[in-house]
Amino acid sequence: MTDASALPGQPRGGVLSGPATARAVNVLAPNASAMTLDGTNTWIVAEPDSDLAVVIDPGPLDDEHLRRVLATAEQAGRRVALTLLTHGHPDHAEGAARFAELSGTRVRALDPALRLGEEGLTAGDVITTGGLELRVVPTPGHTADSLSFHLPADRAVLTGDTILGRGTTVVAHPDGRLGDYLDSLRRLRSLTVDDGVHTVLPGHGPVLDDAQGVVEYYLAHRATRLAQVETAVEDGYRTPAQVVAHVYADVDRSLWPAAELSVRAQLDYLEEHGLI
């Protein structure tokens, strides 16, 4: 979900399938919508001299798209050796089982229900397929099972829905929790400060070249929305729907159902911290 029109950094034009960094190539899924922006970004990641590749978020159950992902890897002289999921929402994960069938790969995810094979993903795991180094970063909040993947060699981070290439994301209550999400943003900020990450490879929208600026914007945006929700409650707006209509009045009404999920998460957070 997006409720803002722009982010810091310089988006690289429109969202197109193709190279984004030396090691990451995007294949855009044909599932554009208000919630998915231009569509789901399926990422093929590999060392430049390797014949093995990792695919992150195969996307929706669309056979043409899944075959296009495979073909893109093969045209670069690579075999897909592993499939990873940032989280379990259908626009990222619904096609994973079919893609595993087409590619003959395992699927690794935080949620055991999404895995194909015995290996999952946990904080601190390092993926080394074909000489690649991908570090697993826990980033719950959008969903409980959300992960990001740090690609140190390209000073990049693949963020799934935790950070989008345009606008801001929904905290998908009740599975998503605002406190977790704020902690995840701070964790990503640490990558930009301590590890030199400057590129965001998002699950939707264009690549962003100012990772630290984007994370700071997200944190400031969340603080602003939280203060607005707190004020709305103090002013007598009691139900989530009433708060959405008041606080998100400038947001397209088609996004209000998703905004209500974020509001519910914000209300929970305010109650847990004794602020309302």
For residue 116, give the 3-state DSSP assignment. Answer: strand
Residues 6+ apart with CB under 8 A from 244: 256, 259, 260, 263
Q: What is the dihedral of CA 161, 32, 105, 120, to 10 degrees?
A: 20
Residues 6+ apart with CB under 8 A from 223: none
What is the tens place of the pLDDT at every residue in 27-37? 999 999 999 99
Query: What pLDDT, on a 0 to 100 scale, did the predictor assign at position 17?
Result: 84
- Average pLDDT (155-160) is 98
Q: Which pairs from 29-32 meet CB under 8 Å and 24+ separation?
A: 29/59, 29/60, 29/62, 29/65, 29/91, 30/62, 30/64, 30/65, 31/59, 31/60, 31/62, 31/91
Higher pLDDT, 117 or 17: 117
* Alpha helices per DSSP H over the chain: 63-75, 90-93, 96-103, 178-194, 211-234, 240-247, 256-272
- Which pTM value belongs to this model? 0.94
Higher pLDDT, 276 or 145: 145
Reading the block at residue 211, the tokens are 């990772």
Mean pLDDT score across all residues of the chain: 94
In the chain the domains, ranked by start, together with CATH numbers, are 18-272 (3.60.15.10)
